[in-house]
Structure 1
Amino acid sequence: MIEVLTDLPEGVTGIRVSGRLSGDDLRAFEPQMHDLLGTGEIRFVEVIDPDYAGFGPGGLAEDMKLGFGLLFKHHSAFKRIAVVTDADWIKHTLHVMAWMVPGEFAIFGLAELGRAAEWAAG
Structure 2
Amino acid sequence: MQLKSCLLLYVLLLILVASFHYQALAISPSAIVGNWRPIPNVNVVEVLEIARFAVSEYNKKDNVQLELVKVVKGETQLVEGTNYRVVIIANDAAGGNAPGNYEVVVWDMPWKHFRELSSFVKV
Shared fold by TM > 0.5?
Answer: no
Of the two structures, which has the highest relative contact order with CA contacts closer than 8 Å and spacing of 6 or more?
1
Q: If each structure's strand is expressed as a fraction of its own residues, which one has the higher value?
A: 2
Q: If each structure's helix is expressed as a fraction of its own residues, which one has the higher value?
A: 1
Tell me the TM-score normalized by structure 1. 0.23
Larger Rg, first or second structure (1 or 2): 2
Tell me the TM-score normalized by structure 2. 0.23
